[in-house]
Each structure stands twice: as structure tokens, then as C-alpha cells.
Amino acid sequence: METTEIIIRENGTLTERVVRERDLEAGPSVLDALTDEVTRSLRNVLAIPGWGLAHANVGLNDTIWSVPIDHLVLNARFRLIHGVLVPVFTSGTDLEMPLVWRAPKEVRLAFVIRTQLSEGCARIDGNWLFACDQDNRGYRLPLPNLHDDCLICTGNFEDRYDTGGECVAASLEQFRKSKWNADLMRTTEQSQKFFRFQPTNETFETLPIQAADWMALCDKVSTAILERVIL
Amino acid sequence: MKNITVKYGVDSITKQVEDDFTFGDLQESDSFQAALGFGDSTKALVEGIEQDRGTVIPAGTTVRLETAANTKA
């Protein structure tokens, strides 16, 4: 459709303005392009036995799954120092055992999985471990096998499944059974102030973090993945 | 002098800097590091686009800093 307007300007000039309108073939591809960065957050999507609920942040190209966790299984070597059992990730001789570290309530842990649809199946595209404070600031725990952006060095495991839920469960199982070694290790001192255990007659009790402010033992992080984490 | 706003996670700060202040200067700035708590390894983004360290930050810009991924040691 075309319309013609004649404009009389203040100085007496006559101007013709032609307006042409047509419907564009603006299908789903245009909408997809416009909403490429838009994501939606869904809470309580899955229940993972032994871990809890998984939340999902769904984007056009991927899904970020967040599993708030309250413990870490540290398959590592430990040493008794002044009656306190602490990890020695760099050791090749100390006693190796899986100890469960219980996070204090002020340390909010998020295990994060990114999945993408690939060739008809869901593919795991990375696992992250974040510690967050009450104001949602993110931190890298003083652990080895964690990159600066909190990406976990998981080792190789099957990364293709029929569903996103299976990807989440498989990632958590790999996380639970993996051994922590010295790769990407920072300072031993910070780890040993953070992860402390008291041997008792029957088990190993998690001791409080040896710092007035637990964040002082961690590195503050900010990443695009963390922005999409749901706690 | 010019004002820039820098965000790192949920924290942000607006400060006055020199006219020739670059993204690299920001990433190495002790005062911004102290205020926002970022480390030595960062990338600077403006509206989601990563910026070159040598580029001068335009006045009034909001810069988002993110922790950069490292490679395996």
C-alpha cells in the first residue's frame, strides 16, 4: 500500500511525502534472532536423588542447570595436623579417603551444568562449582581442579544422553566419585583453613572454616554462566 | 576527566578517570580491583561485546568485567 502526503511548510514550500507499506516475511527466524539473549528461569524442574532439586535457566541455544548442594565429597589425600584432618591435594603418600564436607549455611554452593541439543541428543557442555554469599556474589572455592571461572576439570566421562535430566544426574555422579588431584591448585594454606575435619569415634565431623570471613579464602568471580545460576 | 561505571557481578562502582583511560588500564587498576574484588585475569565487555585492552573507554560507558577462563596448569 502506498500513500502520498503533501506538506505545506512554514516558509510556504510544498513537499511531497510518499509512504510505502508492505508486510515482511518475518517468521520465527526473526523472532529467534531478536530473542537470542533472552532466557527463562524455571525452578524445581528435577529432583536428583541424594542431591536435591535442580533449577533450569533455558536459553535459545542452551540450558543452564543449577543444583544447590550442601556438601562436597572430597576424594583426596588427608593429613592430621594438630588434631585436625586437612586435605593435602599435592601429596602422593598421605591417607586417601572420601570425606564429606558439609557446607555451613552462609556458604551457598551451586553445582552447575550446561547442556546443549546436539544431533538429536542432549550434550553436557561443562560443569561449574560456585560458592555464593547471601547477596549472590560468586566465589571460587580454594580447591584444585577448578579453573578461574569455576569450570570444573572433570576428566573424561560420557557426555551425550537422551535428556537434560540424564546429563544433570551423570554430571553429579561424576562429581561425586571423582578424585581431587593437584591440577590447578592454588595455595594449600587456604584449602586447609577452609576444609577441616575432626576425627571422632565413628566418623569425621566438618569443622568451622578457620577465618572470620570465608570469602577471604576464595576468589571473587563474575561470569556469564554465574549470571544464569538459580539458587 | 570522564565518568565510567564498572560492574563485577552484583557490585558496581562509578568513578572519574583520565580521558585516555583504556580497558587495559581498568583491568590493571588497583583502585578498581580493591573496590570490586576482581583478580588479575579478567575480560572487559560493553553490551556483551569483549573489548580490546588498548581501546580508550568512551565517557559514560558501563563496562562489565568478567573472570576470564584460564587454561589447565
A117, amino acid identity:
L
Secondary structure letter of residue A190 according to DSSP = H
Q: What is the pTM of this model?
A: 0.86
The string of pLDDT tens digits covering residues A65-120 is 999 999 999 999 999 999 999 999 988 899 999 999 999 999 999 999 999 998 89
Q: Which residue has the higher pLDDT, B32 or A188?
A: B32
Q: Which of B8, B48, B70 has the CB atom closest to A222's CB atom?
A: B8
Dihedral pair phi/psi, residue A153, rounded to 5°: -85, 95
Q: Could you tell me what percent of chain A has a pLDDT over 90?
A: 78
A4: distance to nearest CA of chain B, Å?
Answer: 40
Q: Which residue has the higher pLDDT, A155 or A148?
A: A148
Q: Which of A149, A184, A222 has the CB atom closest to B72's CB atom?
A: A184
Closest C-alpha among A57, A15, A88, B4 to residue A4: A15
Contact A37 B38 (CB under 8 A): no
Contact A224 B41 (CB under 8 A): no
Residue A25 has pLDDT above 80, yes or no: no
Tens digit of pLDDT at every position of chain B (73 positions): 999 999 999 999 999 999 999 999 999 999 999 999 999 899 999 999 999 999 999 999 999 999 998 755 4
Note the pLDDT of residue B72: 54
Alpha helices by DSSP H, chain B? 23-27, 30-36
- The chain A residues in contact with chain B (CB within 8 A) are 37, 135-138, 140, 147-151, 153, 183-185, 219-224, 226
